[in-house]
Structure 1
């Protein structure tokens, strides 16, 4: 459990670091600059340390080989000039030579004088050793020395004893003792002083590199602050402008490029503020004009309506031409009233003066009521309307009047453009949302038409005759009603395959929609079956019989 907790903590810390790195431009610039600088300093320091170490080692090798060479020459000269012939004299001579070698090779820390192959055993001098040279001489070095191909050979070794681990050099050479034969002489030199010098240089480079990286980090931070601070101010000012605070501006300091940027930004903000103010003024004038005209037209329209109703009620007393004129007058007056009502509603939305009265409403019942309202039109068009409710909770906190208006608009359009084909109304819900989809199998729309279907006064086919007397504002108002509830109104359509309009609403007022419970893109053919446990209400046109509502 403790390991799991540590793992989660590590992941949380790593996630926090990654998010901070992604969100902070300042942190990214400093991190990248310091990282690249650290790599450069590390590479430079490593190269310098390697070069200095090689130089110190080569100089020390040259020194010890020269000392060893002088000591070997002295020993050979001493043996060659001696007249000693017995063992005692040779032993004394050996001690004298080794003492002379120690005086010459003052930096050596060990010596090994050993008989080489080919020496006469009856006159052999004893082996002599000082220090620990005999412990570090390798067989390969002995083989090279015994070959006699070069005056001397050297090899890097690790010092034994108390100095274990420190580097050293052992130098070997052949010394010929007259009357006896060849001997091998090895001198051991300690390189701890070179190692100390190299450690001092490496430590100095490391400390200097760390200080240099810290200095680069501080300089980078200062430079970033100088550049990022104006950018941060510009970003904050942009955010405030986007939030509607059009009076916000960036302070202008100095004459550099940042000051030029601030001046340009402020000029752009001034231009945007002027244009928005002009557009807002024009919008207010337009809204006021539409509202005033709509209100002013209501009085004469009421008078016209009353006169038209009188003529319409007495059309049986007129000749055929006058009776038809009365019917057309009655129809157009009704359409004019609907258009005025829609214009007033749109003007309320434009003026943001719309009130909403939300309460728990069952969308299945609301859909049934909307279907009943278009039942006569559906019978006249020859369309069958099927209500499919797969079960679940369908209550949602909505304004029943506005949602009912959306459903009536969608159903009217489906009947109008359904070409007498079946129409399905699907109501379903999930934990966060309730959705109603109206599907027809009529003429459908192209992709370009689908993009504009919610535009005001726009019609997909202006040449197509309408029988519902629409104003061209129904879908625009429906979209506003859906948005007012925090919902979505989507459309799918394909030419010659029909259309689907889907209304998705949050179950609770002010709630959010995680996912719509009804798919938007249905099959191209009408649904043949009903899911198990579903509610299905079907409205079938029967021209020769009274209208009936049958539930199955």
Structure 2
């Protein structure tokens, strides 16, 4: 705006200057043309009269006249004069050349004029020619100061500055009002929703007024109340279910103990029974044992659900633990024709773990590998690094599809329900193994491919509160081949592919 106003002011002043200069030049020329002066004194008097007319018509005292070059010398011609004072040098050679070349044309030039207080002011010099009787042609230059226009422009700039600052303050005030009454409630709603999502079910949005924000707050709070009520109902139902499973498991232990003692007596005396009765005693003994295992697993999983599991950690050599687990499963492996192998390039240093739970994980993994290994070798690997220790159980049997690998840690889930089991599993082994690994701050992962076998990898921190940065054992295993590799990682009570 300042530049536009400045241009308009200059153009308006320029047009006025050109009109004034043209009018003054024409009036002076009329005076000169009507005179019959012939001597030097008369011509000088005539020139003074013309100069006075120019000053009056142009309202400017900055006048300069120079005899145009290229004319014959004359004793009558008045001498050159200038009233520009200290600003004489503002009449440039370019402007004089233009006036000399085209006598009938008016030319102008922007200049800087010196004022009475020795300061500078913008101005315009207009050049043209006059014809004096007897004396010949003279260059006429009239200077116009733009100090008033500059002052006007300065006032406009100051006004614009004040208006701009006022507008900025006004915009800031409007922005503050918008933030205060619109953005802030939205930010509060976002923070409240995050706290609600993180588990703080008591948090609510303050309800004020009857505007859209208040309506949003009421709707959000209603939703939060509904969620809190449903979550409490589900939590209570979960506690009831956990309590029921725990109570039933505990209550069944007493009659189960009695049944097991009676069954053991019958089983020990089966040799004196008829064949059908002896077979019945054997079946009773096997199913009572399986029922006892199922009750133990149910009690263990209910402890995890209730969050009452506590680890009994101690420095443990996982290689020795793996050797003991392999020795305990060797009889079953020989019955299936499976060769159990231990590969332990590392892991000989002790790790802070609960040996009972890690041994249970190994028994579950090795037992499943033997069960599904189709009589092929089963390799147990142990390795470690500075932060973690890992155990992997690799079989080369049936393998699993992608969908089966994603559900392998589900409770009571079996990849092939029609397949006959030889070790009497309860369907909770891998689910409990997953909980055991998570309780240690570790991970239990599986890779599997149909026809290529499976590999379960357990990674644990070396210390009780350590962090795992990477696993010492690769997954997929190094001997895995095929275009598709599926890895399922389970941890923190969940699993993902």
Distance in 2, matches of 1:128 and 1:118, equals 18
Q: Which position in structure 2 is the counterpart of 1:334?
A: 289
State the TM-score, normalized to the length of structure 2.
Answer: 0.87
Q: Which position in structure 2 is the counterpart of 1:135?
A: 89
Q: Which position in structure 1 is the counterpart of 2:111?
A: 157
SS class of match (1:84): coil
Distance in 2, matches of 1:196 and 1:387, equals 98
Q: Return the offset for 1:455.
A: 0.9
RMSD: 2.7
Q: Return the offset for 1:170.
A: 1.4
Matching of residue 344 in structure 1 with residue 299 in structure 2: yes
Q: Which position in structure 2 is the counterpart of 1:389?
A: 344
Are the counterparts in 2 of residues 118 and 182 from structure 1 also a CA contact under 8 Å? no
Distance in 1, matches of 2:152 and 2:326, equals 97
Q: Which position in structure 1 is the counterpart of 2:71?
A: 119
Q: How does 1:486-525 map to 2 (within 5 A)?
A: 486-525=441-480
Q: Which position in structure 2 is the counterpart of 1:363?
A: 318
For 2:248, which of 288, 293, 296 is the aligned residue?
293
SS class of match (1:335): helix
Q: Which position in structure 2 is the counterpart of 1:215?
A: 170
Q: How does 1:213-252 map to 2 (within 5 A)?
A: 213-252=168-207
| Equivalent residues, number | 478
Distance in 2, matches of 1:67 and 1:341, equals 115
For 1:481, which of 436, 439, 444 is the aligned residue?
436
Q: Return the offset for 1:173.
A: 1.0
Unaligned runs of 5+ in 1: 1-47, 527-552
SS class of match (2:51): helix
SS class of match (1:516): coil
For 2:406, which of 430, 448, 451 is the aligned residue?
451
Q: Return the offset for 1:423.
A: 2.7
SS class of match (2:357): helix
For 1:86, which of 19, 36, 39 is the aligned residue?
39
1:477-509: CA deviation from partner (whole Å, max 9, x where unpaired): 111112212222222222222222222222222
- Runs of 4+ in structure 1 over 6 Å off: 160-165
For 2:366, which of 407, 411, 424 is the aligned residue?
411
Q: Return the offset for 1:239.
A: 4.5
1:12-59: CA deviation from partner (whole Å, max 9, x where unpaired): xxxxxxxxxxxxxxxxxxxxxxxxxxxxxxxxxxxx223321221122
1:431-482: CA deviation from partner (whole Å, max 9, x where unpaired): 3322222222222222211221111101111122212211110111111112
Distance in 1, matches of 2:176 and 2:384, equals 55
Q: Say if 1:298 and 1:102 are closer, same or farther in 2 by CA, change over 3 A.
A: same
State the TM-score, normalized to the length of structure 1.
Answer: 0.79
Unaligned runs of 5+ in 2: 482-497
Q: Return the offset for 1:208.
A: 1.8
Q: Which position in structure 2 is the counterpart of 1:193?
A: 148
Are the counterparts in 2 of residues 136 and 160 from structure 1 also a CA contact under 8 Å? no
For 1:171, which of 98, 105, 126 is the aligned residue?
126
Are the counterparts in 1 of residues 128 and 141 from structure 2 also a CA contact under 8 Å? yes
Moved more, 493-502 or 156-165: 156-165
Are the counterparts in 2 of residues 489 and 501 from structure 1 also a CA contact under 8 Å? yes
Distance in 2, matches of 1:235 and 1:178, equals 93
Q: Which position in structure 2 is the counterpart of 1:71?
A: 24
1:325-352: CA deviation from partner (whole Å, max 9, x where unpaired): 4333322221111101000111111222
Q: Which position in structure 2 is the counterpart of 1:529?
A: none
Q: Say if 1:392 and 1:139 are closer, same or farther in 2 by CA, change over 3 A.
A: farther
Q: Which position in structure 2 is the counterpart of 1:256?
A: 211
Q: Return the offset for 1:233.
A: 3.8
Distance in 2, matches of 1:518 and 1:87, equals 120
1:51-78: CA deviation from partner (whole Å, max 9, x where unpaired): 3212211221122222212321232123
Distance in 2, matches of 1:134 and 1:81, equals 31
SS class of match (1:172): strand
Q: Say if 1:56 and 1:504 are closer, same or farther in 2 by CA, change over 3 A.
A: same
Distance in 2, matches of 1:332 and 1:150, equals 130
Are the counterparts in 2 of residues 111 and 134 from structure 1 also a CA contact under 8 Å? no
Q: Return the offset for 1:392.
A: 6.3
